[in-house]
Structure 1
Amino acid sequence: MDNLLASQPPLDVDDEEIINNVGDRIHDTDERYIFPEDRVRHLAATFIQHRRLESPRLTSAEAFISWFEHFTEEQLEDTQHQWHSSRTDDDILLLMTQRVECHQSHDGEAWQRVQIIGHILCNESIDHEDGLVRLCSSALQVFMAQPTRLYLTGLYLRASRLEVVVFDRSGMYSAMSFDLADTSRLLELLVSFRSMTDRDLGRSVVIQTDVHGSFITSGDSEKLYLEDRTIAQSDELVGEGTTCYRGRFTDSDPWDHVVKFKWPLTSSRPENELLRLAARRGVEGLIKLRHYQAFDRTSTLRQGYHNGPYRRIVRGSQPGSNNGVDDTTVPTDEPFEDRILTCVVTNPAGRPLRTFADPTELLIVFRDAVKAHRSLFQVGKILHRDISAQNIIIVDHTPWRGYLIDLDVAIDLSNGPTTTDNIAGTRPFMSIGILKKRRHTYRHDLESFLHVFLWVVICNGSANPPQTSRLHRWSKGTWEESAAMKLDDMREENFHIYLDEFPPRFTHFKQVAEAMRGILFPAHNGQLWTGTDGSSAVTNQIYEGIIAAIQRAIDEEVSSDTLG
């Protein structure tokens, strides 16, 4: 069994992030749930009888891996799958992949072919939870390489207990658990995998491949090809798992579409509805919907099982104990989150805000993005609610340069203001009012524009701020602590701290930032006011004031370039 992953780069996600993402989205074993299904078990039984296979006698992880390596090479060599292993001092990673010829295999594609993962803990002093985190980390690698995967089976062997767990975008659940002494179940399980189809193993057919590359099929059955690399991807296992590619219809076309795969909650309003609504109402500066399709729900994939309240991991299982998921989790009151795989195709594609060519382009893009927000809010009667550095794009060769994208959490205001107090947005760019859990208003979005402006200028073309930047404070602490820090930072006497971080080529941008701060945070009785005046007169005054401040800076830039 070769070391398939020798050249694969590690994930930039630590154990704590994985626990925070998966640790409270777990379901224990449901005795009614049969795994594998009867059809596959019957095929396995026939294979075992035909080959006259005998159940092994195993008592430890080391004994299992020694037997397993010989078994897969001698008995499963003629299947469409092959097994690989990667050993460290403490554990062994197992991967079952689609079998490919040597000339078809390329570095960097290993996780794209994975069908089953497994972790064998050889060091029993490692507790159950830490080993489970390693399994979750491998699952995340698979889902990031296969963004439309429906679910993934994982094997977890610690001491003499083998657990079969299943991962999907709603969480993780225990499918079965047994002791290695139950050798007939072990043999049946491993042989069952050879008879499973891609669909049985959780691989979807949303993305297909031909000689020209990977593609999806749009509503009129036309192939839309995907660029090899993603342009945006979230590094979460449980949740929306948003992944975006550029797309085009033929080889001669530019990559002018964006194909977004995600798993939103089934209870949320589909993004396509709001995009269609915005287009119908004549909104400017917003991406256009070209295709939408919804696929599988996690509740359906779970066949009606494992859909009650979640359980969460409790730390501190005894080293050397034979505990499993059922023993190391406790019930919570959190209800099951049903999610659905969707594909949204939009255009234009654009490029990230941080790729601005020069200061003038950044100002123009920013001005147009604020104008787009005004059109969305006042003409479209839609509130965006997630203004961030990632949700403003630069579109070349068009009169309108700054576009808004992503209406995932937007709301239609045509039926009156929303009463929800759910926090929505991207943490560093959230307004003070939203951090205080107030009802979301247009002014909160405009405040987010100020935070984005400061962020993009200080980052100066990078994705993240300098190590010493005060911007890092925006992602730390509780919601209340973050609100208090931002309120303090926005005071006139403290705001210069951010302006002092502006790179030299953006020195003249300070007047734009100061103007925006003054418009958004007027002083009321000596206090910084963070409320919203929703009257038409004040609303127009705020929009026009911000746009005018940016336009003045553009005019100065153009004049300076002309004189220079």
Structure 2
Amino acid sequence: MREGLQFSAAHRFRGDDVHFDDPSTTTSTSSKRKSSSDHTSDDASASKRRRSTGQKSKLATVLNDQLSIGNTKPSLYTPGEDLWENRIYSCLVVSPAGRVISEFRSLKELLESERDAIKAHQSLYVKGKILHRDISSNNIIITNPETANGFKGMLIDLDLAKVRDSGPSARHQTGTMQFMAVEVLRKTDHTYRHDLESFFYVLLWMCARQAWSNGFAGEEKPPKDSLLRKWEIGSFKDIARVKAGDMTVNGLEYIMGEFPKAMDVVKPLCFGLRTILFGDTARRVLGTPAGDPDQLYTPTIAAYDEAISKL
């Protein structure tokens, strides 16, 4: 990218004056404007030279005074330093390529890609000892099984991932707002169960929001004010409260009431996933169970398999 970019000398850009919060500098500037109007054009150049010399001396004095106090920089630029920073442009190319899950063209494609992305998450966590922590509609892709080792979906973007049991690695909650788990919004340490909860939110979002734009609505009209809008606006605390209510049995029924009719076949799967993640009570149970992670992965994947088999 930098081939041929050779600079023999530093270029001085117009308007590159260094400004300081110094009263004397401000006074000098104002007096400069006043004196320039008092001279005729005949002696303007001589006056300009005298002012320039005086201002350079004053600027040097200011620089020396400010640099001598604790060796602190008065600005982002310090005389003697390069005016540019040598940076390397890089990009990560991963395989296989695919389409984001929000571009699903059929119900089967939606469910198969999400199921296989969960399988990828399971392998990453159980075998690779890595927790993803940013499950979203942008990080699940639909892949061609012929070029993706039989997988119809894959997980990408490990920018926020962390090694298992390595302790907290982020100062703040991690994830994409509308897909973040309730406990993560409440600043609980991120676990694999929270990522599975995020997968569930992606599925609900695809059915209640994205399906309307992907040709699954027919003559139906989408709701004017979707309940899911409250998943992406407000404080973390407010969104956690809203989601906690939406994950009760009654709350989930309200959410699924926004599905176009073509997505009704997904509702039994949604109820099943809710039971796996939040318990079989009418309310909901939070927390990550102790023990083998497969106690959640296995029934989750099985629920998808059952739903896919009925399409």
Instruction: Bin the TM-score by the shorter chain.
Output: 0.5 to 0.7
1:187-215 deviation digits (Å, cap 9, x = unpaired): x9xxxxxxxxxxxxxxxxxxxxxxxxxxx
Residue equivalent to 1:428 = 178
Deviation at 1:347, TM superposition (A): 2.1
Q: Give the alignment's Cα RMSD to 1 decimal.
A: 3.4
Residue equivalent to 2:131 = 383
Q: 1:462 to 1:490 in 2, by over 3 A?
A: same
1:534 aligns with 2:266: no
Q: Please, which of 193, 196, 202 is the counterpart of residue 443 of structure 1?
A: 193
Q: Please, which of 451, 469, 481 is the counterpart of residue 238 of structure 2?
A: 481
1:386-437 deviation digits (Å, cap 9, x = unpaired): 0000000011243201010000000011x54437552100001000011000
CA distance in 2, matches of 1:523, 1:437: 25
Residue equivalent to 2:204 = 454
SS of the residue 2:258 aligns to: coil
8 Å contact kept, 2:185–2:240: yes
1:140-177 deviation digits (Å, cap 9, x = unpaired): xxxxxxxxxxxxxxx8xxxxxx9999xxxxxxxxxxx9
State the number of aligned residues.
240
1:293-314 deviation digits (Å, cap 9, x = unpaired): xxxxxxxxxx99539xxxxxxx
Q: Please, which of 161, 186, 204 is the counterpart of residue 410 of structure 1?
A: 161
CA distance in 1, matches of 2:18, 2:199: 47
1:306 aligns with 2:76: yes
Q: Please, which of 124, 145, 151 is the counterpart of residue 400 of structure 1?
A: 151
* Letter in structure 2 aligned against 1:436: R
CA distance in 2, matches of 1:181, 1:305: 25
Q: 1:446 to 1:163 in 2, by over 3 A?
A: farther
8 Å contact kept, 1:419–1:439: no
CA distance in 2, matches of 1:340, 1:467: 47
1:359-395 deviation digits (Å, cap 9, x = unpaired): 1111111110111111111011000000000000011
Q: TM-score, normalised by structure 1?
A: 0.39
* Letter in structure 1 aligned against 2:109: E
CA distance in 2, matches of 1:445, 1:497: 23
- Structure 1 unaligned residues grouped into runs of 5+: 1-37, 45-154, 156-161, 166-176, 189-302, 308-338, 558-564
SS of the residue 2:248 aligns to: coil
SS of the residue 1:517 aligns to: helix
* Letter in structure 1 aligned against 2:205: W
1:372 aligns with 2:153: no
* Letter in structure 2 aligned against 1:40: H
Superposed counterparts of 1:144-293, under 5 Å: 181=33
CA distance in 2, matches of 1:547, 1:373: 11
* Letter in structure 1 aligned against 2:309: D
CA distance in 1, matches of 2:90, 2:181: 29
- Structure 2 unaligned residues grouped into runs of 5+: 1-8, 20-25, 37-47, 53-72, 78-86, 215-221
Residue equivalent to 1:198 = none
SS of the residue 2:94 aligns to: strand
* Letter in structure 2 aligned against 1:402: G
1:509 aligns with 2:266: yes
Q: Please, which of 492, 514, 517 is the counterpart of residue 249 of structure 2?
A: 492
* Letter in structure 1 aligned against 2:297: Y
8 Å contact kept, 2:249–2:283: no
Q: 1:353 to 1:164 in 2, by over 3 A?
A: farther
* Letter in structure 1 aligned against 2:11: V
1:269-309 deviation digits (Å, cap 9, x = unpaired): xxxxxxxxxxxxxxxxxxxxxxxxxxxxxxxxxx99539xx
Task: Answer 1 or 2: higher relative contact order, Cα 8 Å, separation at least 6.
Answer: 2
Q: 1:164 to 1:384 in 2, by over 3 A?
A: farther
CA distance in 1, matches of 2:231, 2:97: 29
Deviation at 1:466, TM superposition (A): 5.9
CA distance in 1, matches of 2:88, 2:244: 38
* Letter in structure 1 aligned against 2:268: Q
Deviation at 1:470, TM superposition (A): 0.8
1:100-125 deviation digits (Å, cap 9, x = unpaired): xxxxxxxxxxxxxxxxxxxxxxxxxx
8 Å contact kept, 2:269–2:307: yes
8 Å contact kept, 1:354–1:461: no
SS of the residue 1:495 aligns to: helix
8 Å contact kept, 2:248–2:283: no
* Letter in structure 2 aligned against 1:438: T
Q: 1:466 to 1:306 in 2, by over 3 A?
A: farther
Superposed counterparts of 1:75-154, under 5 Å: none
* Letter in structure 2 aligned against 1:482: I
8 Å contact kept, 1:395–1:401: yes
8 Å contact kept, 1:355–1:461: no
Q: Which has the larger radius of gyration?
A: 2
CA distance in 2, matches of 1:441, 1:468: 32
CA distance in 1, matches of 2:18, 2:306: 63
SS of the residue 2:11 aligns to: helix
Residue equivalent to 1:40 = 11
Q: Please, which of 82, 101, 104 is the counterpart of residue 356 of structure 1?
A: 104
Larger helix share, 1 or 2: 2
Q: 1:383 to 1:364 in 2, by over 3 A?
A: same
Q: 1:461 to 1:409 in 2, by over 3 A?
A: farther
CA distance in 1, matches of 2:247, 2:18: 52
8 Å contact kept, 1:365–1:394: yes
